[in-house]
Structure 1
Amino acid sequence: MTEPEAGRRRRRRPRQRVIPLESVPAQRMRWVFGLLCLGLIGLMGRMAWLQVMQSSTLEARARSVQTQRTDPLGTRRPIVDRAGRLVALDEERFRLWAHPNNFRFPGDDPSVVRQPLDLARRLSGLLALPMADLVQRMGDRPSGIRLAEGLDPETASEVRRLGISGLDLEAYSHRVYPQGNLFANVVGFLNLEREPQAGLEQSRDRDLQRHEQSRSLRRGADGTPLPDNLSPGIFFGDDLRLQLTLDARLQDLAAKALAAQVNEWNAKKGVAIVMDVRNGELLALASTPTYDPNRYWDFPPALFREWSVQDLYEPGSTFKPINLAIALQEKVIGPNDTVNDIGQLQIGGWPIFNHDKGANGVIDFATVLQVSSNVGMVQAMRNLQPLRYWQWLSKLGLESKPDTDLPGAVAGQLKTREQFTTQPIEPATAAFGQGFSLTPLKLVQLHALLANGGRMVSPHITRGLRSGDGLARRNPILGQPLIRPEVTRTVLAWMESVVEKGSGKGARTPGYRIGGKTGTAQKALNGVYVPGAKICSFVATLPIEDPRYVVLVVVDEPQGRNAYGSTVAVPVAKKIIDGLLVIEKIPPSGGHTAHQPARQPAAALDGDPDGAPAPAG
């Protein structure tokens, strides 16, 4: 570029306009300053208003945003057996609610509302329900439709993962009985409204309810729990469990053996009880028929009651050892005494005879039990004054409700003092276990009294509430002494002879000393004996040298001419005894000659294979 050209460009540039500075009027500055001061004063006033006058309201609003509140589901404590196996527990389940007027899939435009069929396609496989059923359930209702019930947490999580708008999951507690029908007769169940209906669920309802409270926890913006304002025990969990004395293994064995025998003999029902004679703990209480508490609606309500503690029956010959203990205690008979069994007696104009209507001659009391002589029992008990006899039966609690934690336990029935003392037939029939009634549970308690040396212990099935993994020990030995120990030892020796030589031979176990007594009693209904109806039973005590357990089996109305305690009840007791010896690790009886297993059934109508008299009672 030449110098003339550069000069011309410089000449073409416009000159910049210079604006002269003018002073601002003082009045304007005062107005601006005043406006700024007013704004600052308003801002300060607003801050003071918020922090002084509205601080509590705003703080509460902030707390509600920051605080997560969890309401309790109303869970119940679990129930476990004596070894900690779960019998009943609460599980979290979910209800799925549908609101068709708000169905949207992730990514849908807010104005779009999906049809129920679209939702059914997504949920059908997940819920294992046909699409047609889901569409039918939703119908044309706009909202509040219960689409599914009882969803497990995994399925509920999958539903949430779908992210579908218009679906709500409601959590609730559901009672589950993992053992099925095994403990239904004693544990009971909850209905769909979680109201206890039977068993321990009802009788121990308050103990089984967890002590829960609403839980509030403040969290920061990132979800981190804030340490302030935490109430004491907010993270504490109620881990108490109700522990039973029952053993699931023995309960299962007893239930299967009992059910098989009831079916074989076409009987109405049956019960098997195993009791620790030292403290009254029940190791097994199985009855049949029973029900599944998980599906209680499929069963008749009559099965919801445990008949072994609520129904009365006449025990028959299984009560004879109790009577002999009373006679020995009162010293109206001696351990070496004998009676003359002539086969039949007339008492107050009524004939009394043995089950086979035969006479056994002069026999001792061990033989009286072996042949189950009714006549021999009447002759033994007639030495005892009727009033004293009645007082003993009353003292043993025949007409009192047993002291037990089993729900629904009832008292037995005994004739009035006047009837018993003025009508000779009453003490006579009572001598061989008829004319009064009790429950199977009461009979077990009385035989435990013979086994433990004369103490009346309380039968029970719970050990109490326990925390954590610890299990309770056996309860201490208690019980009111009623009968002298030497008396009970004598009666147990006589009962052992029944298993050795009499109708209880089917319960013999090599290496073990076992005592027992069979019973085949007429069945009474409303005070009248039902023709042809009978109750077959067997009670065993083991081991005789150091008694620890009583086993009772009762079968109601078995069908067949050969239905006796020895043929119906003894086989069930034998299976239970064999399992009990293994489960409780009971060592063989020291110094006792083991018997060889019986080669034939224990007894038949016309006598057993070893020449012992026919099964009695």
Structure 2
Amino acid sequence: MTASRRPGPSRGRSNSRQKVVAIQPVPAIRLLAVYGLLCAGLVALAGRLAWLQVVDGANLQARAHAIQTQTTQPIGKRRTIVDRNGRLVALDEQRFSLWAHPRYFNFPGDDPQQVRSADDVATKLAAELALPKSGLLEAMAGRQTGVKLLSELDPETAGRIRQLGISGLDLEPYPHRIYPQGQLFANVVGFLNLERVPQAGLEQSRDGELKRNETTLQMRRGADGTPLPAGLTAGSLYGDDLRLQLTLDARLQQVAQQALVKQVKHWNAKRGAAMVMDVRNGEMLALVSTPTYDPNQYWKYNPGLFREWSVQDLYEPGSTFKPINLALALQEKAIEASGRVSDSGSLQIGGWPIFNHDKRANGLIDFPTVLEVSSNVGMVLAMGKMKPARFWHWLNNLGIDQTPDTDLPGAVAGELKSRGDFTSSAIEPAVAAFGQGFSLTPLKLLQLHAMLANGGRLVSPHITRGLRSGDGLATGPSREGLPMLDPAVTRIVMNWMESVVDKSSGLGMKIPGYRIGGKTGTAQKADRGVYIPGALITSFVGHLPIDDPRYVVLVVVDEPKGGNTFGSTVAAPVARQIIDALLVLERIPPSRPREVQKTAPKA
């Protein structure tokens, strides 16, 4: 009998049945809701896109341009000033202010979110700036941004700070005016104050011309910083390289200043001035005065030094005006070149006594001798041959009481009595004959002596040649000026002035081979019409070369003290040193070469 077997469970099968979820139909309302939501989102996106492209497109484009455009604002640069040979006199150098923003301090390689301490930054800065760390920490203490640490950093120092790469440090560039020649041109160039406002000299009088043409520069840049041509306009990258060229020569200026300072100190004088002019066109080759100041550190000096007294202060020229008066008398034919006067040493004019400076009678003398011995009496007699009205007319015609036509800052007019006062009192034309009773500036006297030297033309003294581009330098202007005197008359007076130098052995102005003319002056100093007891102004004016006059040199020393204070002892030695340098610098050939050969040392 066969036993029956019950089938057992199969291996791998699950003991439980899998549950099957029946698919339920989705309600139509839910599908519609989802569909509506998707459509609404698409409509919103389309509307936003339309808004950005159509309505707000111009605004977005402007914002994009602002991000892509680099704007550079003008920083007020000024043009360079150079002397007649291109030597730098005034220029702008870039300086930097260092600003700190401690809330953004971060070192290269740091996590962008990390903020370094002020102590960390001060440690690095102190090493580069050679400053104590404590001072930097004190400046930043308790402040998160906008801390001005330093000013007047030079480009080299600013470059080292920039190389540190510290976030939170900003270097703000600005121009800084410097004067490489120091005191040498301070009296005519002037200076800018700390706010870059011109305070004196050419910096002030030519302010408009010295400002560079600067415009706000906008340049489009790509994402990598590359300039895009579309952002540039014609001339936007133009560089203003114009420079103001002076007529002054730094070499001659230095010689004149050193000689003048030494002599003013030796005679314990109040002040002094020295000037050199090209008589052909009025160009000034030198204009120095002492005491002066350093425009790089102007705050250390008395503000009274900021004005050039030789073009702004009046004085009575004394005997240096005698050659001009004799030229006027010759022009009027009141005297003849071969004429003579009888000098008795003194005379009375309208009840007033007039003496020679040495109270000595010189007898019957010609006009060259009148200049040589500086005879006051001889001058009164000579000018007395001219009618007072004509004398006044000429003084007025020469512009004694008019402001000179010049580019020198602050030039003023002289003082001359009215026609009525001059002609109604006999003493007025008498004292005017030897350079007193009226006043002018040293600049005006220089201009009048240039007129004698150039054949009677009144040229305008000036110290600038104008703006020049690049390295190009201007040449001197051509002969010009207002004709005043007959050239034949001026030649006679120039020969007389040459005789003063030739016959005055103590003057020290004779130079072998060169024909030089000159005249000393020692005048009483007046203050508001009253002469100051014991106060003198000494001066010397020289012309060279007499055969073809090119230059006039004037030296004025105010209130020298001590004995033997005359134009020949105080002012003439300064003029001699200036003339020696002038002959070399301007390569003036000798008029008598044989004399030079005779005096040359043998090898």
TM-score after normalising by structure 2: 0.91
8 A Cα contact 2:315 2:526, kept in partner? yes
- Which position in structure 2 is the counterpart of 1:199? 201
Q: How far apart are residue 124 of structure 1 and its match?
A: 2.1
Whole-Å Cα distance in 2 between the matches of residues 432 and 100 of structure 1?
Answer: 76
Whole-Å Cα distance in 1 between the matches of residues 227 and 515 of structure 2?
Answer: 66
- Which position in structure 1 is the counterpart of 2:154? 152
Change (3 A) 1:401 1:90: same
- Which position in structure 1 is the counterpart of 2:435? 433
Deviations 1:144-196 (A, max 9, x none): 33211100122112222223343322211111111111100000000001110
Whole-Å Cα distance in 1 between the matches of residues 137 and 531 of structure 2?
Answer: 61
Whole-Å Cα distance in 2 between the matches of residues 492 and 50 of structure 1?
Answer: 89
Deviations 1:281-302 (A, max 9, x none): 1010011110000000010101
- Which position in structure 2 is the counterpart of 1:355? 357
Change (3 A) 1:156 1:69: same
Change (3 A) 1:130 1:147: same
8 A Cα contact 1:504 1:516, kept in partner? no
Q: How far apart are residue 45 of structure 1 and its match?
A: 4.2
The letter of the residue matching 2:59 is T
The letter of the residue matching 1:557 is E
Q: Provide structure 1 residue ranges, at least 5 long, that are not aligned to the other structure.
A: 1-8, 12-20, 598-617
8 A Cα contact 1:504 1:570, kept in partner? no
Query: Equivalences for 1:53-452 in 2 at 5 Å?
Result: 53-107=55-109, 116-452=118-454
SS in 2 for 1:411: coil
Of residues 45-54 and 62-71 in structure 1, the stretch that sits farther from structure 2 once superposed is 45-54
> Is the aligned partner of 1:492 residue 2:494?
yes
Q: How far apart are residue 341 of structure 1 and its match?
A: 0.8
Whole-Å Cα distance in 1 between the matches of residues 326 and 256 of structure 2?
Answer: 29
Whole-Å Cα distance in 1 between the matches of residues 545 and 357 of structure 2?
Answer: 29
8 A Cα contact 1:503 1:518, kept in partner? no
Q: How far apart are residue 119 of structure 1 and its match?
A: 3.4
Of residues 141-150 and 75-84 in structure 1, the stretch that sits farther from structure 2 once superposed is 141-150
SS in 2 for 1:161: helix
SS in 2 for 1:435: coil
- Which position in structure 2 is the counterpart of 1:50? 52
The letter of the residue matching 2:552 is V
SS in 2 for 1:201: helix
Query: Equivalences for 1:502-541 in 2 at 5 Å?
Result: 502=504, 505-541=507-543
Of residues 406-415 and 42-51 in structure 1, the stretch that sits farther from structure 2 once superposed is 42-51
Whole-Å Cα distance in 2 between the matches of residues 411 and 596 of structure 1?
Answer: 48
Of residues 469-478 and 200-209 in structure 1, the stretch that sits farther from structure 2 once superposed is 469-478
Whole-Å Cα distance in 1 between the matches of residues 537 and 506 of structure 2?
Answer: 16
Q: How far apart are residue 590 of structure 1 and its match?
A: 4.3
- Which position in structure 1 is the counterpart of 2:20? none
Whole-Å Cα distance in 1 between the matches of residues 92 and 391 of structure 2?
Answer: 51
Change (3 A) 1:58 1:394: same
Whole-Å Cα distance in 2 between the matches of residues 139 and 345 of structure 1?
Answer: 84
8 A Cα contact 1:510 1:595, kept in partner? no
Q: How far apart are residue 267 of structure 1 and its match?
A: 0.8
Whole-Å Cα distance in 1 between the matches of residues 298 and 33 of structure 2?
Answer: 87
- Which position in structure 1 is the counterpart of 2:558? 556
Deviations 1:491-510 (A, max 9, x none): 00000011111277312211
Return the match for 1:479 from 481, 503, 522.
481
Q: Provide structure 2 residue ranges, at least 5 long, that are not aligned to the other structure.
A: 1-10, 14-22
Identity across matched positions, percent: 68
- Which position in structure 2 is the counterpart of 1:4? none
Q: How far apart are residue 50 of structure 1 and its match?
A: 2.0
RMSD, aligned α-carbons: 2.9
SS in 1 for 2:385: coil
The letter of the residue matching 1:330 is E
SS in 2 for 1:507: coil
Change (3 A) 1:111 1:22: closer
Change (3 A) 1:110 1:34: closer
8 A Cα contact 2:218 2:231, kept in partner? no
Whole-Å Cα distance in 1 between the matches of residues 251 and 316 of structure 2?
Answer: 30
Deviations 1:575-596 (A, max 9, x none): 1111111111111114674598
Deviations 1:453-493 (A, max 9, x none): 00000001111111111111111221110100000000000
TM-score after normalising by structure 1: 0.89
- Which position in structure 2 is the counterpart of 1:545? 547
Q: How far apart are residue 127 of structure 1 and its match?
A: 1.9
Change (3 A) 1:547 1:178: same
The letter of the residue matching 1:321 is P
8 A Cα contact 1:553 1:569, kept in partner? yes
- Which position in structure 2 is the counterpart of 1:576? 578
SS in 1 for 2:415: coil
Whole-Å Cα distance in 2 between the matches of residues 596 and 538 of structure 1?
Answer: 29
8 A Cα contact 2:81 2:243, kept in partner? yes
Whole-Å Cα distance in 2 between the matches of residues 595 and 399 of structure 1?
Answer: 48
The letter of the residue matching 2:313 is D
The letter of the residue matching 1:396 is L
Change (3 A) 1:110 1:26: closer
Whole-Å Cα distance in 1 between the matches of residues 149 and 35 of structure 2?
Answer: 68
- Which position in structure 2 is the counterpart of 1:453? 455
8 A Cα contact 2:523 2:538, kept in partner? yes
SS in 2 for 1:186: helix
Deviations 1:95-121 (A, max 9, x none): 112344554444556776655444333
Of residues 51-60 and 445-454 in structure 1, the stretch that sits farther from structure 2 once superposed is 51-60
8 A Cα contact 1:504 1:518, kept in partner? no
